[in-house]
Chains A and B, each alone.
Chain A
Amino acid sequence: RKEVEQDPGPFNVPEGATVAFNCTYSNSASQSFFWYRQDCRKEPKLLMSVYSSGNEDGRFTAQLNRASQYISLLIRDSKLSDSATYLCVVNRGSARQLTFGSGTQLTVLP
C-alpha cells in the first residue's frame, strides 16, 4: 500500500464549479501536510499547508483529520487557470523528505 493515496482522476469540471480532492496517508507519525500544484511538465509548487483546524486561502480550503488520516482540498468557483495536477504531500517530521501522492489531475473546462 502506498504511503499517500489519492484518486488519480481526471476530474473535468466546468468553470465556476466546486471540486473536492481527497487523500489518505498511512503513517500515523506524519506531522506536516501540504497540497502542491504541478502544471504539465513543470516543477511542483506549494499551494498551501494543511492544519488540523482547517485553513483557507481565497478559493482554496484544506482540511486535515488526524484520527482518520485523511486530508482534503476544496476549490470553489474554479478557474481555467486551476487546471493542473494536485499533489497531496506529507512530511514525517523526523525525516525531512516529503512523501507525495500520485496526484489528482484537474481540468477546468470553459
Chain B
Amino acid sequence: GAGVSQTPSNKVTEKGKYVELRCDPISGHTALYWYRQSLGQGPEFLIYFQGTGAADDSGLPNDRFFAVRPEGSVSTLKIQRTERGDSAVYLCASSLGDENEQFFGPGTRLTVL
C-alpha cells in the first residue's frame, strides 16, 4: 500500500519567507509526528498529533513554527519568517495508534538562503 508521502521533496526559500510543508500519512493512521533532521544528526521531535489535535508540541523550537491537521489526516507544518538555521530535512511519520511502529515519509529538504 501507499506509504507516508511528503511534498515538496525539496524547498529552497529566502530568509524571512513563509513556507508550508505537507504530509499525507498512511490511510487509517491516527497518530502523526513531525521531526527535523539536521546534517549528521538523528531526527529531533517537533510535534505529535492524535487525530486532529496536537497532543504534544513540546519540540517546536519557537513560535515561528506551527502545525495543523484539521481533518485528522493530512498535516501541514508552517514556518514563518524562515531563518538559515531552519535548513534541515523535515520528516513526517504516522502510526496506527500511538503505541505502534512509526512509518516515516521521505522528508522535505528545506534550504533557507
Contact among A46, A87, A97 for B59, CB-based, below 8 A: A97
Expressed in whole angstroms, the minimum distance between the Cβ of B80 and any Cβ of chain A is 23
- B interface majority secondary structure: loop
The answer to whether A96 and B105 touch (CB under 8 A), given A43-B91, A87-B42, A101-B42, is no
Asked if A43 and B104 make an inter-chain contact with CB atoms under 8 angstroms apart, the answer reads yes
**What residues of chain A lie closer than 8 Å to B45, measured between beta carbons?**
97-99
The answer to whether A45 and B104 touch (CB under 8 A), given A87-B42, A100-B43, is yes
**What residues of chain B lie closer than 8 Å to A98, measured between beta carbons?**
33, 35, 43, 45, 102
A35 to B49, CA, bound (A): 23
Tell me which residues from 80 to 105 in chain B have a Cβ below 8 Å from any Cβ of chain A: 91, 98-99, 101-102, 104-105
Number of interface residues of A (CB under 8 A): 18
What residue in chain A is nearest B45 (Cβ atoms)?
A97
Tell me which residues from 71 to 89 in chain A have a Cβ below 8 Å from any Cβ of chain B: 87, 89
Q: Is B72 located at the chain interface by the 8 A CB criterion?
A: no
Expressed in whole angstroms, the minimum distance between the Cβ of B56 and any Cβ of chain A is 6
Asked if A43 and B42 make an inter-chain contact with CB atoms under 8 angstroms apart, the answer reads no
Q: Is A54 located at the chain interface by the 8 A CB criterion?
A: no
The answer to whether A97 and B48 touch (CB under 8 A), given A44-B104, A45-B104, is yes
Expressed in whole angstroms, the minimum distance between the Cβ of B40 and any Cβ of chain A is 7
Instruction: Give the interface of B toward A (CB within 8 A).
Output: 31, 33, 35, 40-45, 48, 50, 55-56, 58-59, 91, 98-99, 101-102, 104-107
